[in-house]
Structure 1
Amino acid sequence: MKTYGTEPGIPSPVRVGISEFAVTEGDDTLKSYGLGSCLAIALYDPETEIGGLAHAMLPDGDADENSDRKPGKYADTAIRTLLRRMVENGASYTSVEAKIAGGSDMFEFDSFGDGVGQRNVAAAKDELEKLGVPLVAEDVGGETGRTVEFTPRSGTLVVKSAGESEENETREL
């Protein structure tokens, strides 16, 4: 899957929107914008350079009988679906690693207890542990939005935070 911009031969990032996911390989770049309480979940196999990115909005798809229609919407079902698609495309289940970013709690609602961002992070960590996929890096929580860019060849997840000073704005996981 190659997507090209206006200059010939210059690949453009593939946009992964809210409740979506994509699986690709090599130098293809996957990008998600506007992560607030949503969680970006990047899975990759460093040996085959196959990876995927999900932009999960909510924590628990198992509680939703319709989650199979939109598995990228929920942290738990997004991880299972990404992993399955990656293995179908040649990734080795035992080599897959994970990185996550997002899960901010940008608004406080005392009546709801833990915010959606915190619950998304907890659900993702629980599912990764359940499946035996190591979480090797994270940039989660806080009160700022994020944009992420993921490249399976290197396994690099670049995180850009909104509202921070220029020198702290971009981090590479």
Structure 2
Amino acid sequence: METATLMAAVGRSATSAGAKRLLSNYRPSGVPRTGSPEDRGGAYRAFLDAASRLASASLRVHFMMYEKDEPGSDEVRRTADSMLLDLHVRLQAAQDDFSSALLGIELCGVSYVIEAAGNLAEEIGKLPQAGGKGKNAIEGYDHAAYEEAVEVARGARGKFLEAARHDLAYNPSWWQFARRYKERQFRKRTEAPR
């Protein structure tokens, strides 16, 4: 073979190999694959966002029901009724978003994160009914029972966060000494009393 032909063949194969290597590593940034870490992270964030909106809407409805049952004028009760109707619509929208986000986790999450998400969904689902009515309308909701349900939901949220962090490998591994030390120091600074 001639030298020029040989050099052209070598150049063509090197270019082809380089192009294949570049194209095999190409992943469009806006198009995650189902089940990829980016997809799971997005689903986890959407679920936490929907969970916080549902808990917030539930809290607003709870306090509006308590305000409505306070003794007062009929005008205050009518205003509370109209506001309560709007809050119930918002609560329903938040529940719809929450259900959709839960389905997103079931689509791409791993089993222990799906279980933690199910536990959080169960606890947050109890919030709208947590206070219950008292013996009569003037007593209103039982705030202690509602606060207890909120604390249980916070604990379930923490367990979901830990499961999601573990799945996405946000926790430092045992061999990452410097990272574990920095995290421990950061936690000491943030949890230290002032």
Structures share a fold, TM > 0.5?
Answer: no
Q: Which has the larger share of strand?
A: 1
- Greater relative contact order (CA < 8 Å, ≥ 6 in sequence): 1
User: Shorter-normalised TM-score: what interval?
Assistant: under 0.3
TM-score, normalised via structure 2 length: 0.26
Which has the larger share of helix? 2
